Amino acid sequence: MGIRIALAGNPNCGKTTMFNDLTGANQYVGNWPGVTVEKKEGKYTKDKDVTVTDLPGIYSLSPYSPEEIVARDYLLDGDPDVVINLIDATNLERNLYLTTQILELGLPVVIALNMMDLVEKNGDKIDVDKLSRELGCPIVPTSALKGRGMDELVKTAIELGKKGVPAAPQIRFSDEIETALAKIIDALGSRVSPATARWFAIKVLEGEERTISQLKLTDADKKTVDAIRDALETELDDDAESIVTSARYDEIAGVVDDTVKKSTKGMSTTQKIDRVVTNRFLGLPIFIVIMFFVYWLAVSVGGGVVTDWANDGISGDGWLYTGGEAFDEATAEYEDAQAQITAYVENILGEDEVSGLPSDDSQEVLDALALAEPEAPEDATDADAMAEYQDAVAEYDDAQATIAAFDEEAQAKHAVATMEVEGDDGEVEEQAITFADYQAALEVEEPDPSDGSWGLWIPGLGAIIGNALEAADVAPWLQSLVMDGIVAGVGAVIGFIPQMVILFLLLGFLELCGYMSRVAFIMDRIFRKFGLSGKSFIPMLIASGCGVPAVMATKTIENEKDRRMTIMTTTMIPCGAKMPIIALVFGAIASGNSDATWYVAPMFYFMGVIAIIISGIMLKKTKLFAGETTPFIMELPQYHMPGVKNILLSMWERVKGYIIKAGTIIFLSTIVIWFLMNFGDAGEGFGLLDSEAPDYMEYSLMAGLGNLLAWIFAPLGFANWQATATAVTGLVAKENVVATVGIITQLGDFGEADPQLWYGFAQMLGGSTAAIVAFCAFNLLCAPCFAAMGTIRQQQRSAKWFWITIGYMCGFAWCVGCMLYQFVGLALGEVSFGIWTVIAIIIAALMLFQIFRPMPNYDKKDEKVARKLETENEAA
């Protein structure tokens, strides 16, 4: 039989670090039966017969929260062979409260005196042997962060587990309490074992209903216990629970005084740092700067070479491993030539005054120039192939006629175009482009990295799959499904993984070093002014990874109104799945010039924070959520440098969930999206559409769905079916937004960090910056993915509250999107003043009114009733 070790301790005591160190990757996460508290189990890396169960972080075994109930039930009924109780050695008195309760459970216990490296660094000293004698169990000094003492700790735990000898707690209360406990133990008799008798006697003395019900005491026994409790409360002039709690802390204080010698030197490093980062005036600006840097680094830096490398290999053509410098120079020459061609064509035929994109005439010439001459089929007897070839030749001839007409017009006008170029010194200069320059630019061929002339070329996954499908002569519709649906959709999403890795590495460092706990403290001061508790910020921190655990984390908020309101707002923070949307919008607005829009990615993060604060103010002033805010108490851990292993594990936990979703929900979604995009009625009955036909998507089921709902989003600037369909698929999973854009624009091979997809996305929204901003705002603030919606339904525990939550989020997102499009559009000259501008002004006015109006007194009626009852009592 294997050994089962339970890992118990306070939050922020290093339990997760120790669990990761003991189990490595040999762990799995689930839920405890009947509750939504996370359960972690893993096999000890050096002995697979040893199972380690990581209990939720708790401060006591009182059954007041789901975490406490889970930990307590497992320790009492889960049959662990031994308990490893982690103690933060820098905060001994606070941690020993839980320890003294665990020691009373009649289980073998070994204490891990963790963070001893910090104790030594602070100059403090702990007499470990004396502490062990006073508590009645073995103690092993450890540093989970540095892996110190781990082997000795597990060895001691295994030995204790095999012997099965329970701890022998030496702590005793005052004579009055001990006398009362002895009487209760006698009254309990054989209902409890000698090892657990003290635990049950204390709980019965405290009057804990859960324990009393579990023991099934008779009425006579209950009367006996009540009499003992009443006598003690009368003698000590306090309630029994407070008496026991005070006595426990008194004994703990005595133990700490006997075993701990504090250093007399000045402020610790943690205290010095906290004087700055938790400062009333500097705390928030420092947090803003840090998060600004995190998101900027993840999106703008991570979206460069690393993401390009991933996109090239996953859904693109492949990687060029050698000769890259020469190829880059040839590519730059080709791109410069293309820019000259576009500038010259637009100079003669013009550009759209509103969007800044090429005019229809210009685009027609540019499309004609991009059209390659068709190749004749190898089998001239294949009637279908010859018919397609002839159609392609006719289209090519039309294109050549368009080009000839343009050349004739250009030569007649003797036009000289100009374009801005950046010189070697970084200065922007005007470059003249003559007709001869234009002709020369047409001769510059796009370099092909796979032709073998540049260096070692390794084909990408997309190219390999495509070639394999062609070689196997797979049906065209199946090739389209795999390449245009699955590879394009999933590839566009997976290509974002490098950015997520950077983001979660940075967030993991901030969490594990202790800074994020300070942020919750800082935000509590701000949130409290707006009717929210600092506890509401904890789910918001978690939401930056995923909305599902963030919604589950709201269960720690005791006040039901605060909890419901937090659920309604917490997923407005951009999660990992929303990051591709931000990256796509970042690129579409930047148009390749990231220096001009370095603020875009952080701006959308803080838009989520501001949306939550505004929502909190407005909702708190409604009858549904009015009331006192829950007080927030949180222990701030010591600052420490987290281990690389723990940061990597933290990052992997989040990225793994993203990858699993890409391989399941996104995979299935892309198939459904492809079906909706490629099936419809083009006038010949319902069926598979001809993807070679112009505008075939206009006849698809997706176009029908988009057109049906497009009117809803017209005030937000995206009234076409493409943008509407993209927003709808985002409700299944936010990653679908980029996947859908890739499928609709047929540019999924490029990924969200590629200018090709940026341009396609911008065209889909008419090239309007205001529409792009409104689109992003709506998709970031509206209802989350289906998985998070299911968790919201579970946590709200009411269909009515579920629909209120989804309705509020979608309605709020629509209002924000409408205001952004109308106001930004007016400022940029993209929108004319109209009825929807008036409505946007009305929405803004109503929000401002709700934000700044005094808090209504919804309890006036109750106060009148209370005063009436008080008057009647006085008269009586």
pLDDT tens figures, 750-767: 444 455 555 666 667 666
Query: Which secondary-structure segment (H or E) carries 125?
Result: strand 125-126
Residue 343's CB: how many other CB atoms inside 10 A? Answer: 19
Mean pLDDT in runs of 10 for the chain (876 residues)? 86 81 68 60 87 86 76 84 90 87 90 86 86 90 84 91 86 87 86 85 85 82 87 85 87 88 72 82 83 72 60 67 75 85 80 53 82 80 80 87 86 77 69 85 84 77 79 78 71 67 81 78 70 67 68 68 82 73 63 50 76 83 70 65 79 74 68 79 75 72 83 82 80 70 58 54 70 83 78 79 90 90 85 88 91 70 47 46
Do residues 696 and 516 make contact, with C-beta atoms less than 8 angstroms apart? no
User: Measured between alpha carbons, how far is 196 from 173 in angstroms, rounded to an integer?
Assistant: 17
User: Measured between alpha carbons, how far is 526 from 248 in angstroms, rounded to an integer?
Assistant: 35
Do residues 180 and 233 make contact, with C-beta atoms less than 8 angstroms apart? no
User: Measured between alpha carbons, how far is 806 from 819 in angstroms, rounded to an integer?
Assistant: 20
User: Measured between alpha carbons, how far is 629 from 474 in angstroms, rounded to an integer?
Assistant: 63
Q: Which domains does the chain show, CATH number per domain?
A: 3-163 (3.40.50.300), 175-261 (1.10.287.1770), 318-459 (no CATH), 514-576+599-635+769-876 (no CATH)
User: Measured between alpha carbons, how far is 495 from 313 in angstroms, rounded to an integer?
Assistant: 9
User: Measured between alpha carbons, how far is 604 from 598 in angstroms, rounded to an integer?
Assistant: 12
SS3 content of the chain, % helix, strand, coil (to 5): 65, 10, 25
Helix (H/G/I), strand (E/B), else coil: 231: helix
pLDDT of residue 866: 43
Token pair 């892996």 in the structure block, residue: 147
User: Measured between alpha carbons, how far is 58 from 594 in angstroms, rounded to an integer?
Assistant: 46
Closest CA to 752 of 420, 744, 432, 761: 761
